[in-house]
């Protein structure tokens, strides 16, 4: 039976023989020796420190919230203008955050090939569709295209962004963004993002959950939140004003840790690194 203060070090890559689904943002460690605490004493636990890889993915492969929907506006058989979904881009690979120019280059490369296959031969988009202006610190949509034939054709296109991608690029997901201007196809028209891009992929806070504590109030929920902290440019995070939470059991053999952002999304780290953390257990004061 253990008494007094002690610490436990956890590593996301440990115990994969028992928990093969362990990832850096969600893992379970099986303790070498179970911890037996005095059943007549109440204990509490706090997160002393945590180390996370500093890089994580901005766009995630096959993530629907990172989509770009391309709509085509053309005359139907009755001669009236009609809008229809023409193409949906969903990332076919994970794209790391931190470098907006690189992120846009990757998106443009995938769009260039797929849209080129779908064009009917009348319209050619001026690529790249997305550009980065480092002076204005804004994403730009180059929304013009040249008409290859039939200049009287008034077909046009616009795009809508999924919520995650819109947040990253500085747009609103409610915006409809034109990318075809048939009335003056040779002009250059640029659509600057109204808001600064979020190079951190919209992650403002990291929420740390664990299954060894009693649920506590967190907003309008009762959940097992151990700690919350603002994310920074570095991976190391030390805690000087630690907050202790009551343990729910005096017998501990496995400890699970989960990391999410402030709205509950997974944080998918983009390097082969571990999350390590140190827990401090003591008698409840």
Q: Map out the domains of the chain with their CATH numbers.
A: 6-56+203-283 (2.60.120.550), 60-192 (no CATH)
Note the pLDDT of residue 32: 93
Note the pLDDT of residue 279: 96
Note the pLDDT of residue 220: 85
**What rounded mean pLDDT belongs to the chain?**
83
The set of residues, in sequence order, having a beta carbon less than 8 Å from that of 158 and lying 6+ positions away, is 70, 71, 73, 83, 176, 177, 178, 179, 180
The set of residues, in sequence order, having a beta carbon less than 8 Å from that of 251 and lying 6+ positions away, is 34, 35, 36, 37
186 pLDDT more than 60: no
Among candidates 255, 158, 162, 263, which has minimal Cα distance to 203?
263
Angle at 21 between CA 18 and CA 26, to 5 degrees: 105
Note the pLDDT of residue 183: 47
Furthest-apart CA atoms within the chain: distance in Å: 85
185 pLDDT more than 80: no
112-140 tens-digit pLDDT: 777 766 665 555 566 678 889 888 889 98
* 29 and 273 Cβ atoms separated by less than 8 Å: no
143-179 tens-digit pLDDT: 665 545 444 567 777 889 998 899 889 988 777 787 7
Note the pLDDT of residue 151: 47
* 168 and 58 Cβ atoms separated by less than 8 Å: yes
Backbone angles phi, psi at 184, to 5 degrees: -145, 70
Pairwise pLDDT comparison (186 vs 154), residue with the higher score: 154
Note the pLDDT of residue 101: 86
First to last CA, the chain: 20
243 pLDDT more than 80: yes
25 pLDDT more than 50: yes
Question: pTM of this prediction?
Answer: 0.74
Note the pLDDT of residue 173: 72
236 pLDDT more than 60: no
Q: What share of the chain is helix, strand, coil (3-state, %, to 5)?
A: 10, 45, 45
């Amino acid at each position: 039976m253990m008494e007094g203060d002690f610490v436990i070090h956890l590593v996301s890559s440990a115990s994969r023989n028992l928990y093969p689904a362990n990832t850096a943002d969600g893992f379970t460690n099986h303790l070498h020796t179970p911890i037996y605490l005095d059943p007549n004493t109440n204990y509490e636990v706090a997160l002393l420190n945590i180390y996370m890889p500093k890089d994580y993915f901005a766009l995630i492969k096959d993530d629907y919230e990172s989509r770009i929907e391309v709509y085509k506006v053309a005359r139907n058989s009755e001669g009236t203008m009609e809008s229809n979904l023409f193409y949906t881009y969903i990332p076919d690979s994970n794209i790391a955050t931190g470098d907006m120019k690189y992120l846009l280059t990757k998106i443009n490369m995938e769009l260039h090939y797929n849209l080129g296959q779908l064009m009917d031969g009348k319209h050619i988009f001026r690529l790249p569709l997305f550009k980065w202006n480092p002076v204005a610190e804004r994403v730009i949509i180059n929304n013009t295209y040249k008409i290859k034939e039939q200049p009287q054709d008034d077909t046009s296109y616009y795009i809508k962004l999924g919520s995650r991608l819109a947040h990253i690029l500085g747009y609103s997901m409610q915006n409809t963004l034109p990318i075809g201007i048939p009335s003056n196809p040779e002009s250059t028209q640029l659509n600057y993002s109204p808001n600064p891009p979020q190079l951190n992929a919209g992650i403002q806070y990291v929420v740390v959950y664990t299954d060894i504590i009693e649920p506590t109030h967190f907003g309008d929920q009762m959940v097992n939140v151990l700690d919350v902290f603002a994310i920074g440019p570095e991976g190391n995070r030390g805690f000087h004003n630690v907050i202790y939470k009551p343990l729910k059991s005096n017998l501990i053999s496995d400890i699970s840790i989960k990391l999410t952002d402030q709205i509950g999304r997974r944080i998918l780290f983009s390097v082969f690194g571990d999350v390590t953390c140190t827990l401090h257990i003591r008698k409840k004061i």
